[in-house]
């Protein structure tokens, strides 16, 4: 009797649970097919960012990242010395380039022995602040750390870009101009000036300005003796030029109120 009563109570409980929408637990112990064969995917962490210098400075920037960095923001780049100005009172200026682009470092802080170690082609890491000055994109308040490695850039031929906005893409790079024609300066009598208006002191170290054209497009150029390894020979060549001479020019694509390349080599295009 008790057994029948217990059976009736269990059946009643099952009917109540079914009426409330509660299903009895599934039998899984002997079920050969699991409810699902999929497992939750493990979260994938992004790859770590490239670490920068150990002292906590920003990561090494690509040339494109440098160009898009905000003005006055701290920047760290790496490149190879392509030209250096004279050392004066603990400061010098450098043109530095890698295979992505180039940088100009005005008034770089260094000792005289550090300056002497900056051989052409020497790899360095540069820290400073991105700056603009009269169209020139620069690294201001810069310091450097020497690194292993050497590389010297081939001059990029930008002759066809004279007078175009495209020229600015190669600012501060080592460049060349082929088959240009020497033009007269604004006074129509001079081939070159001491300084931009011919009013600078007539000294060997004074920067010279001259003009040359290609396809009707005229561009101003300068020769800064302190930047040139063969300054005496270069100045002699410049001073011997005549209007109409055809020349090949090599130097660095400086910008100052527009393109104003600094020339370190002058060679005859077809003899003069």
pLDDT bracket for residue 100 (50, 70, 90): very high
Burial of 30 (0-12, 13-18, 19+ CB in 10 A): exposed
Per-residue pLDDT tens over the stretch 237-254:
999 999 999 999 999 999
User: Residue ranges of the alpha helices (H) in the chain?
Assistant: 2-19, 63-68, 112-117, 231-239
Distance CA 175, CA 155 (A): 4
Query: Both tokens of residue 158?
Result: 């930008």
Question: Is pLDDT above 70 for 255?
Answer: yes
Query: What's the mean pLDDT in 56-62?
Result: 75
The full length of the chain comes to: 272
Q: Tell me the helix, strand and coil percentages in the chain, rounded to 5.
A: 20, 35, 45
pLDDT bracket for residue 58 (50, 70, 90): low
Domains, in order of start, for the chain: 63-150 (2.40.50.140), 156-268 (2.40.50.140)
Distance CA 54, CA 192 (A): 49
Lowest mean pLDDT among 24-33, 92-101, 127-136, 222-231: 24-33
Per-residue pLDDT tens over the stretch 70-99:
999 999 999 999 999 999 999 999 999 999
- What is the DSSP code (8-state) at residue 68? H
Distance of alpha carbon 182 from the chain centroid? 32
How far from 225 is each of 2, 89, 130, 155, 205, CA to CA, in Å?
Answer: 118, 18, 27, 19, 6
Q: What percent of the chain has pLDDT over 70?
A: 78
Give SS3 for 181: strand
Phi–psi pair at 34, nearest 5 degrees: -65, 160
Say what the pLDDT of residue 26 is. 41
- Give the Cβ contact number of residue 143 at 10 Å: 15
Contacting residues for 102 by C-beta, under 8 A, at least 6 apart: 63, 79, 82, 95, 96, 153, 170, 171, 172, 173, 174, 252, 253
- Give the Cβ contact number of residue 29 at 10 Å: 5
Lowest mean pLDDT among 53-67, 73-87, 153-167, 256-270: 53-67
Say what the pLDDT of residue 185 is. 98
Say what the pLDDT of residue 59 is. 82
Say what the pLDDT of residue 38 is. 38
Per-residue pLDDT tens over the stretch 176-193:
999 999 999 999 999 999
Buried b (16+ CB within 10 A) or exposed e, 101-115: bbbbbbbbebeeebb
């Amino acid at each position: 009797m008790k057994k029948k009563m217990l059976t009736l109570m269990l059946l009643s409980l099952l009917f109540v649970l079914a009426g409330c929408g509660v299903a009895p637990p599934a039998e899984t112990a002997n079920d050969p097919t699991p409810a699902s064969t999929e497992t939750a995917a493990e979260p994938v962490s992004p790859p770590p960012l490239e670490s920068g210098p150990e002292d906590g400075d920003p990561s090494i920037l690509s040339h494109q990242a440098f160009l898009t960095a905000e003005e006055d923001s701290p920047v760290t780049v790496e490149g190879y010395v392509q030209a250096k100005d004279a050392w004066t009172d603990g400061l010098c200026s450098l043109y530095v380039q890698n295979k992505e682009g180039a940088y100009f470092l005005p008034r770089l802080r260094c000792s005289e022995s550090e300056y002497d170690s900056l051989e052409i082609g020497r790899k360095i890491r540069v820290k400073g602040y991105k700056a603009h000055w009269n169209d020139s994109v620069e690294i201001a308040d810069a310091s450097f750390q020497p690194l292993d490695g050497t590389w010297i850039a081939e001059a990029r031929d930008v002759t066809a870009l004279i007078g175009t906005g495209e020229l600015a893409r190669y600012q501060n790079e080592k460049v060349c101009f082929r088959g240009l024609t020497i033009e007269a300066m604004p006074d129509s009598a001079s081939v070159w000036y001491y300084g931009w208006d011919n009013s600078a002191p007539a000294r060997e170290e004074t920067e010279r300005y001259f003009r040359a054209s290609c396809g009707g497009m005229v561009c101003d150029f300068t020769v800064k003796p302190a930047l040139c390894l063969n300054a005496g020979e270069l100045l002699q060549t410049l001073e011997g030029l005549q209007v109409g001479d055809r020349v090949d020019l090599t130097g660095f694509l400086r910008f100052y109120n527009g393109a104003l390349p600094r020339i370190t080599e002058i060679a005859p295009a077809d003899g003069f």
